[in-house]
Chain A
């Protein structure tokens, strides 16, 4: 008998004669305390994310590329990693082509193996989109894919994320439903709620443990 068969056998034997417990999941408990009037969602998200040192800017669908250029300049970041095949990646490169002072764009356009060294050692900042956010916990939702790979939101020390205000959900339960994850999960789905941090030494909070030291969210008020 295989290990699997033996384990399952033991478990089944222990359950013999018992019935599965009923499913009494109470969705009001995970939704009702975590609902916000639409006009307060941004404020709630902002409050929670800023509490863990996230930088948040309100901007618009047309103005964010200029704001991003200003922020990069302020932070003295001269290179930005983007996903060129995404809508925002395209919008940014087109927009910045018209500016002579814009920082250099770098595209994540091949497998990581071909440029891992550069990614780890010479990529100070990145820009990604998000598929939404959660007001209750102050979290961004990312589903990295072939165009916008996973490491973009992890390896560069500064991570800029674009968030459409209309995609902010009240709570995780409703976000899961809206994104229809039950029917099929993305390869990798992430909730990101601030820059990387640790309190492993003496409970002292330190940012920039292994992931980005800075997380900057640009909220596009498109609603």
Chain B
């Protein structure tokens, strides 16, 4: 498997967006899926008052956990360790991959089966393991489909949502030699048959974590398919990988978060399986992994954590509702973002993971309509965070006090001077009047090209007389 280049060039977002907008099939696939997900969510929260109060509770639980994050992580580690689970810490994705590789080498593993895990996507684990001769296969149906097609997920919950049944059927025909069928049930049964054998053969199972409970040392996994349970139960080794923000203090905290997660994501009261893992196989038990590992990954999260406002990004429970409701995401699709996390959550988290200068267009890929913030089950103020990132994009860091990696890459001396000038004009009445006089009298000199603004629009031109002047004239007229 060749590794696609992961570093988007400056204008890649725009050119990919342009292509996506012209792809009628892609737009139909997204529109249909997002409409149905929005409808399902709305139906699952039929009582607006209950929904809003639950969102507040969800926000408080996450904020409270973050306000004690280092202590909770230590408590989680000590409880997991007491339970027999081995805990590893990684600052970077390279370190995390090294940890996984070390375990694989020690166990002489040749095959790894993966439940759905966005953190393993951050790590690009499939390719890293492949480079070391270890097959790493996705087992979530959507993930399996896109892995077959050498693609990345286009949605965090529905990774293959950009494909329709016909496209999947042709993929299975081409890659697996299966007879063509558009029958979704048959397609799923094909996946089931092939992957069952893989669960059977795998040496290691990898999963993500939805919530890590500090007080009991428990990993909570949420899923519908059963592949997560397979991956964490059949192979002799289970490695869970997760971001350091996923911890909650109490077992009871999981109750409202679960309800918010499954209802926001899919409109379901609950998913088919909630899998709570606290220990590896105990003496006398007849199945389950002999070893359970948890890899806690930072990868830029501590940078978001350092700023009180940006820290709210880490409230996220990865429900995907913000992308389902985003008018930009729905039109350009997930691949346009070119990174692991697309949509509004992608726009606010990715800059911390890869550096703002690598994704300078992400914070601007929003109409600031506010839908994402309105539906977010843990009340992340996504629109204000987007505005904040736009600011960081154009402001050069104070020496020694950078807020984030790669900030200020859109800084332009000209633009900065223009704004300074604007501020001076608008705070000094005399200067302002002078400016107004010349702007209206010399309107013919207004430039007709104003960067991207005039790509699709005419250039704005001052009126022949200002409103102020017109009003004065009007008032001076005899009645």
Q: Which residues of A contact B (CB under 8 A)?
A: 2-4, 6-8, 10-15, 18-27, 29-30, 33, 48, 52, 108, 110-112, 116-117, 120, 136-139, 145-146, 149-151, 154, 171-173, 176, 181-182, 184-204, 206, 208-212
In the bound complex, do residue A6 and residue B53 qualify as a contact, i.e. CB atoms below 8 Å apart? no
Q: Are A112 and B286 in contact (CB under 8 A)?
A: yes
List, in ascending order, chain B residues with CB within 8 A of A210's CB. 139, 192, 195-196, 199, 225-227, 229-230
The 9 nearest A-B residue pairs measured at CB: A211-B226, A200-B142, A209-B225, A210-B226, A191-B274, A137-B270, A4-B89, A196-B226, A200-B141
Q: Report the Cα distance A195→B226, complex, angstroms.
A: 9
Chain B residues with CB under 8 Å of A13's CB are 306
Q: In the complex, which residue of chain B has the Cβ closest to the Cβ of A188?
A: B277
Evaluate contact between A10 and B165: CB separation under 8 angstroms.
no
Residue from B32, B95, B141 within 8 A of A201 (CB atoms): B141
CA distance A208 to B255 in the complex (A): 27
Interface centre among B63, B141, B272, B306 (most CB of A within 10 A): B272
* B178 part of interface (Cβ distance < 8 Å): no
Verify B252–A173 contact, CB threshold 8 A: yes
| Closest Cβ neighbor of B143 among chain A residues | A200
In chain B, residues 216-261, which have Cβ atoms closer than 8 Å to a Cβ of chain A? 216-218, 224-227, 229-230, 233-234, 244, 249-253, 255-256, 258-259
**Nearest B-chain residue to A145, judged by Cβ:** B285
Stretch binding the partner chain, chosen from B182-190, B368-376, B413-421, B439-447: B182-190
What are 17 contact pairs spanning A and B, CB under 8 A? A27-B252, A29-B53, A52-B272, A139-B270, A149-B286, A149-B288, A154-B230, A185-B216, A191-B270, A198-B225, A199-B158, A202-B29, A202-B33, A202-B184, A206-B188, A209-B188, A209-B224
Interface positions of B (Cβ within 8 A of A): 29, 32-33, 36-37, 47, 50, 53-54, 57, 60-61, 63-64, 67-70, 73-74, 89-91, 95, 139-142, 145, 158-161, 163-165, 168, 184-185, 187-189, 191-192, 195-196, 199-200, 215-218, 224-227, 229-230, 233-234, 244, 249-253, 255-256, 258-259, 266, 269-282, 284-288, 296, 298, 302, 305-306, 311
In the assembled complex, which residues on chain B have CB atoms less than 8 Å from the CB atom of A33? 47, 50
CB distance from B160 to the nearest CB of A (A): 6
Q: Is the CB of B234 within 8 A of A151?
A: yes
Q: Are B272's CB and A194's CB within 8 A?
A: yes
Partner of A150, one of B64, B233, B272: B233
Closest CB of chain B to A8's CB: distance in Å? 5
Contacts A108-B286, A192-B272 known; A26 to B184 CB distance under 8 Å?
no
Question: In the complex, which residues of chain A have a beta carbon less than 8 angstroms from the beta carbon of B266?
Answer: 199
Contact status of A14 and B256, CB under 8 A, knowing A198-B188, A201-B165, A201-B188? no
A111, A146, A173, A201: the one within 8 Å of B145 (CB): A201
Partner of A15, one of B67, B164, B168: B67
Q: Cα distance A193–B287 when bound, in Å?
A: 22
Is the CB–CB distance between B225 and A211 below 8 Å? yes
Extra inter-chain contacts (4) besides given A173-B255, A199-B158, CB under 8 Å: A187-B288, A200-B159, A201-B142, A210-B192
Closest to A110 in B: B286
Residue of A nearest to B187 (CB): A201
Complex Cα spacing A19 to B161, Å: 43
- The residue that A116 contacts in the complex, of B200, B230, B288, B306, with Cβ under 8 A, is B200
Quick check: B188 and A146 within 8 Å, CB to CB? Answer: no
Known contacts A3-B90, A210-B192, A193 near B275 by CB under 8 Å:
no
Give the CA-CA distance A10 to B307 in the complex, in Å: 12
Q: Per a CB cutoff under 8 Å, which of A7, A19, A138, A200 touches B270?
A: A138
| Residues of the A chain whose Cβ atoms lie less than 8 Å from the Cβ of B32 | 202-203
Nearest residue, chain A, Cβ from B169: A201
Q: B218 and A193: CB pair below 8 A?
A: no
- Output the residue of A2, A29, A171 with the most chain B CB within 10 A: A29
* Residue pair B225, A186 in contact (C-beta under 8 Å): no
Contacts of A176 in B (CB 8 A): 251-252, 255
CB distance from A191 to the nearest CB of B (A): 4
Is A149 within 8 A of B285, CB to CB?
yes
Instruction: Decide: B285 and A209 in contact? CB cutoff 8 A.
Output: no
Query: In the complex, what distance in Å separates the CA atom of A223 from the CA atom of B272?
Result: 27
Expressed in whole angstroms, the minimum distance between the Cβ of A223 and any Cβ of chain B is: 24
- Select which of B191, B215, B255, B275 is within 8 A of A182 by beta carbon: B215
Q: B142 — which chain A residues lie within 8 A by C-beta?
A: 198, 200-201
Task: Note all chain B residues with C-beta closer than 8 A to A194.
Answer: 272
In the complex, residue of chain A having the shortest beta-carbon distance to the beta carbon of B276: A189
Check B188–A208 contact: CB distance below 8 A: yes
List of A residues within 8 angstroms of B249 by Cβ: 23
Given known pairs A146-B282, A188-B277, A190-B274, the reply for A22 and B160 (CB within 8 Å) is: no
User: In whole Å, how far is A156's beta carbon from the nearest beta carbon of chain B?
Assistant: 12
Whether the pair A204, B252 counts as a contact (CB closer than 8 A) is: no
Query: Are A197 and B279 within 8 A (Cβ)?
Result: no
- In the complex, the answer to whether A29 meets B57 with C-beta atoms within 8 Å is yes
Contact present for A197 and B230 (CB under 8 Å): no
Is A188 a contact of B298 with CB atoms below 8 Å? no
Find out whether the CB atom of A30 lies under 8 angstroms from the CB atom of B259.
yes
Check if B227 sits within 8 Å of A8, measured CB to CB. Answer: no
Distance, CA A30 to CA B259, complexed state (A): 9
A residues in contact with B252, CB < 8 Å: 25, 27, 30, 173, 176, 182
In the assembly, what is the distance between CA of A100 and CA of B475, in Å? 107
* Bound CA span A108–B60, Å: 45
Contact of A188 among B53, B226, B272, B288 (CB under 8 A): B288
Q: Which of A15, A52, A202, A211 has the most CB of B within 10 A?
A: A202
In Å, the complex CA distance between A189 and B244 comes to 23
**Chain A neighbourhood of B282, CB < 8 A:** 146, 187
Least distance between B204 CB and chain A CB atoms (Å): 15
